[in-house]
Structure 1
Amino acid sequence: MTHVPQIRVPATYMRGGTSKGVFFKLDDLPEAAQVPGEARDQLLLRVIGSPDPYGKQIDGMGGATSSTSKTVILAKSQQPDHDVDYLFGQVSIDKPFVDWSGNCGNLTAAVGAFAINTGLVSEERIPDNGIATVRIWQANIRKTIIAQVPITNGSVQETGDFELDGVTFPAAEVQVEFMDPADGDGAMFPTGNLVDDLEVPGVGTLKATLINAGIPTIFVNAEDIGYQGTELQEAINGDAEALARFETIRAHGAIRMGLISSVDEAASRQHTPKVAFVAPPRDYVSSSGKTVAAADVDLLVRALSMGKLHHAMMGTAAVAIGTAAAIPGTLVNQAAGGGERSAVRFGHPSGTLKVGAEAAQRDGEWTAIKAIMSRSARILMEGWVRVPGDSF
C-alpha cells in the first residue's frame, strides 16, 4: 500500500502574551491553502493536531487548551498605511473546524516581531535602536492595531525584565494599541443598552452587559451565578454542569447580540462571543500561589474561552474589560466602583493586568476610541512543520 509522504511548511512557533501559536507567511503555505477554504482549514487542523477525541493534540503542535490551539497567517498589507495583514484562526481541539470569527489579542503582541523578522515591514521603518511602530491590519475584524516593538542593534529585542502574570519568565515589553476596537461594523452595544436582562433557560434572568469591543463579550455578575470572582481554573473546568451552564449563557447572549440566529449555531462559533463574570475586589491567591490583595485591583474578572475558564485573560477580552470599565453604568464599571476612568487593573486567575481605554458618546451612542495594554512575545522555535501530503 502506497502512502503519501509528509510535506514541510515554513513556520514559526511563538508565544504572544499568555498564548502560543503557529505563525505562517501567507506565501509560504501550499498553494491550495493560500486562499480561504477547506484546504486551508484542513491544513491548519492537521498542523495543530485536531480534531482529537482524546483532547490532547499529541499528534500536532497544539497544547490542548484554547490558549495554545492557535494559528496565524501574515502577509504584506494590502491596506494603505499598514505594514502587515494579520489573520487569526482559533483551532477547535476536539471538533473539525477552525473559527475565523475574531481576533487573538495576546498573539497580536507577536505579530509585529514576526513581521519584522520575516521582512514584511520595510527596512526604513525599523530603527537601529529604539521602537519600531508596526501598523497591523487585523483581517478578521477589519481593524487597525499598533504594536510598539523594541529594537536593539537592528534586531527585535525579545529579552527583558517586563513581567506578565500568566507567563513564567520576563521578556521585553511590547505595547499594543487597539484602535477603534469595537468588533466588526455593528454598534458597540448591539442591544442599545449598557445592561440587559438576559433570559437564559435553566439559569434564570441575568443582568448582562453585551459589548463588541476587542471581541464580542457577555459580562454577568459573579454573585448572580453563584461565584465570588476569585475562582481558579479547577473550580470551573472540573465542573461539567458549570461549563454547560456557561455555554447556555453564551449561546443565548450570542442570540441577543445578533451573532447567531439559533442556539444550535453556537457550537460552530466557539471563539466568539466570550462570556465573563465580574465582581468587586477581594483578596485571593492566584494560580502561581501569589496573593492578590483587594487593594491592588479595581475589580475581579474571570473569562471563558472555547468552553473553559481561561488561565489568565484573553487579550481581546481585556480590551472589552477596559472599554466597558470606561463607560459608567456597565456591569464592569459598576464592579470597579463606578464613575469615569481611563484605565483599570483587574484580577484574573494568574494575577493582575492593567488596560487603558478611551470611549466617547457620539450621536447618543458609545464608541470605543482605543485600548492599550502591554504584553510580551518571543520566538520559541522556527523552521518547518510537517504534515501528511494528503491531509488537506
Structure 2
Amino acid sequence: MSQVPQIRIPATYMRGGTSKGVFFRLQDLPEAAQAMGPARDALLMRVIGSPDPYQKQVDGMGGATSSTSKTVIVSRSDSTEHDVDYLFGQVSIDKPFVDWSGNCGNLSAAVGPFAIASGLIDAGRIPDNGVATVRIWQANIGKTIVSRVPITDGKVQETGDFELDGVTFPAAEVPVEFTDPADGEGAMFPTGNVVDELEVPEEVVEGGVLKATLINAGIPTIFINAADIGYTGTELQEAINSDTRALARFEAIRACGAVRMGLIEHVDEAANRQHTPKVAFVAPPSDYLSSSGKQVSAGDIDLLVRALSMGKLHHAMMGTAAVAIGVAAAVPGTLVNLAAGGGERTSVCFGHPSGTLQVGAETRQADGQWAATKAIMSRSARVLMEGWVRVPGDAF
C-alpha cells in the first residue's frame, strides 16, 4: 500500500473576537501555496478538514461552524503606509472551496498581535509598555485596518479584564478601527437607496417582496425587518438552525439580495459564494435571555440584530457585520437606523444571541451619496496553540 509522509507547516491557532482560525506567515507556506490558486485552496481545506460530508471537520483544525472554519495569511507589506498585508480565507465546511470574497472582522483583531509575535513588525515600533499601532492592509477588500495592540514588557498582552459577549473568558482589549469601511470599490448603497423593495420567491414571504437595506460596509449585508418574516429579533441559534425551511428561506433572500447588489448575476451562483453577502434581521429593543443565560434588558440596547453566516444563524455577531450595523445605524432611514429609533447617531449598542455589542461609525453625505469614513469596535485576541500544522504531502 502506497503512503505519502505528512509535511509540517509553521502555524498559530488563534481566537480573535468570537471567531478562531489557523494563522500563517506567507513565507512559511509551501512554495506552491504562496500564490493564490488551486494549490493554496487545497492546502487550506486539508488543514481545516474540508470538504467534510459529515460536517464535523474531525480530520482537521476546523470546528464545524462558520466561526471556526477560517484561515489567515499575513505578510510584511510592500506599502509604506501599512505594516502587514492580511488575507482571509473562509473555508466551506462541506463543499470543496475557499471563499476569498470578504474579510473577517473578528479575526482582524488577532492580526496585529500575530504580526507582532511573529516578527513581522519592526522591533523599533514596539514599545516596552503601552500600545503598538499596527497598520493592516486587508487584501480581500482593499481596505485599511488600524489595530491598537496592548504591550507589556515588550510582548503582546493577551490577558486582561475586557469582557466580550460570546467569549467565555476575559482578555486584553484590542480596539480595531476600520478606515473607509465601505466594502470594495462600489457605492456603499449599491442600488442608491437606503431601503429597497427586494423581490424574493413567494414561498419566502407572501407577496414576494421584502423591505431591505442593502449595504456594502465591513461586508456586503442584507438587512430585513424581523417582523416581516415572522420573527421577533430575540431568537437564539436553535430557533433558526434547527428549522431547515427557515434556513432555505434565508438563503433565498441572500441569493436575491446578492443579485440586486450586483455581486452575482444569477441566484444559482450564490451557492459558490457562501461568505458574502450576509443576511441579518433587525427589530426594536426587547428584553430577552441570551444563550449564556444572561438577561438582556431592552433599556440597555438600541436594537436587536440576528445575522446568518455560511447558512446558519451566528452564535454572536460577525465583526464585519457589526461594522455594517454601525454604519447603517448612522445613516437616517435605513432599516437598522429605524429599528434603533431613527435620527442621527455615531454609535449603536445592539443585542445579539450571546449578549450585546457596541460599535461606533462615522458617515457623511456628498452629492446625494452616503459614505462611511470609519467604524470602531473593541475585540480581544489570544493565541490558543502554536507550532506546526501537519497535512499529507500530496494534499495540495
Q: TM-score, normalised by structure 1?
A: 1.00
> In structure 2, how many angstroms separate the alpha carbons of the residues matched to 1:344 and 1:122?
36
> In structure 2, how many angstroms separate the alpha carbons of the residues matched to 1:210 and 1:339?
19
**1:41-190 to 2 correspondence within 5 Å?**
41-190=41-190
- AA in 2 matched with 1:120: L
- Can you list the C-alpha shifts for 1:193-213, whole angstroms capped at 9, x where unaligned? 000000101222000000000
Q: Does 1:356 align with 2:323?
A: no
SS at match of 1:295: helix
**1:220-299 to 2 correspondence within 5 Å?**
220-299=224-303
Q: Does 1:335 align with 2:339?
A: yes
Which of 337, 346, 359 does residue 350 from structure 2 map onto? 346
Match of 1:326 in 2: 330
- Can you list the C-alpha shifts for 1:146-199, whole angstroms capped at 9, x where unaligned? 000000010000000000000000000000000000000000000000000001
> In structure 2, how many angstroms separate the alpha carbons of the residues matched to 1:93 and 1:120?
30
Which of 363, 374, 379 does residue 375 from structure 1 map onto? 379
Q: Does 1:19 align with 2:23?
A: no
> In structure 1, how many angstroms separate the alpha carbons of the residues matched to 2:347 and 2:170?
23
Bigger drift between 72-81 and 162-171 goes to 72-81
> In structure 1, how many angstroms separate the alpha carbons of the residues matched to 2:237 and 2:182?
28
Bigger drift between 84-93 and 118-127 goes to 118-127
Match of 2:394 in 1: 390
SS at match of 2:53: coil
- AA in 2 matched with 1:109: A
- Can you list the C-alpha shifts for 1:86-116, whole angstroms capped at 9, x where unaligned? 0000000000000000000000000000000
> In structure 1, how many angstroms separate the alpha carbons of the residues matched to 2:5 and 2:360?
50
SS at match of 2:323: helix
- Can you list the C-alpha shifts for 1:295-328, whole angstroms capped at 9, x where unaligned? 0000000000000000000000000000000000
> In structure 2, how many angstroms separate the alpha carbons of the residues matched to 1:329 and 1:126?
43
- AA in 2 matched with 1:105: G
Match of 1:315 in 2: 319
- Can you list the C-alpha shifts for 1:226-280, whole angstroms capped at 9, x where unaligned? 0000000000000000000000000000000000000110000000000000000
- AA in 1 matched with 2:389: V
> In structure 1, how many angstroms separate the alpha carbons of the residues matched to 2:168 and 2:335?
31
- AA in 2 matched with 1:25: R
SS at match of 1:272: coil
> In structure 2, how many angstroms separate the alpha carbons of the residues matched to 1:275 and 1:102?
14
The structural deviation recorded for 1:79 is: 2.0
- Can you list the C-alpha shifts for 1:47-74, whole angstroms capped at 9, x where unaligned? 0000000000000000000000000000
The structural deviation recorded for 1:124 is: 1.3
> In structure 2, how many angstroms separate the alpha carbons of the residues matched to 1:347 and 1:265?
32
> In structure 2, how many angstroms separate the alpha carbons of the residues matched to 1:96 and 1:79?
33
SS at match of 1:68: coil
**1:2-13 to 2 correspondence within 5 Å?**
2-13=2-13
Match of 2:32 in 1: 32
Question: Which consecutive segments of 4 or more residues in structure 1 shift more than 3 A?
Answer: none
The structural deviation recorded for 1:80 is: 2.4
Q: Does 1:210 align with 2:214?
A: yes
The structural deviation recorded for 1:2 is: 2.0
> In structure 2, how many angstroms separate the alpha carbons of the residues matched to 1:159 and 1:391?
36
> In structure 1, how many angstroms separate the alpha carbons of the residues matched to 2:382 and 2:11?
14
Match of 1:304 in 2: 308
> In structure 2, how many angstroms separate the alpha carbons of the residues matched to 1:9 and 1:226?
48
> In structure 1, how many angstroms separate the alpha carbons of the residues matched to 2:183 and 2:330?
17
Bigger drift between 72-81 and 12-21 goes to 72-81
Q: % of aligned pairs identical? A: 81
> In structure 2, how many angstroms separate the alpha carbons of the residues matched to 1:28 and 1:321?
36
- AA in 1 matched with 2:387: G
> In structure 1, how many angstroms separate the alpha carbons of the residues matched to 2:250 and 2:78?
39
The structural deviation recorded for 1:81 is: 1.3
The structural deviation recorded for 1:140 is: 0.1
Q: TM-score, normalised by structure 2?
A: 0.99
> In structure 2, how many angstroms separate the alpha carbons of the residues matched to 1:122 and 1:231?
46
RMSD after superposition: 0.4
Number of aligned positions between the proteins: 392
> In structure 2, how many angstroms separate the alpha carbons of the residues matched to 1:349 and 1:321?
15
The structural deviation recorded for 1:84 is: 0.5
> In structure 2, how many angstroms separate the alpha carbons of the residues matched to 1:193 and 1:117?
44
SS at match of 1:182: coil
- AA in 2 matched with 1:78: D
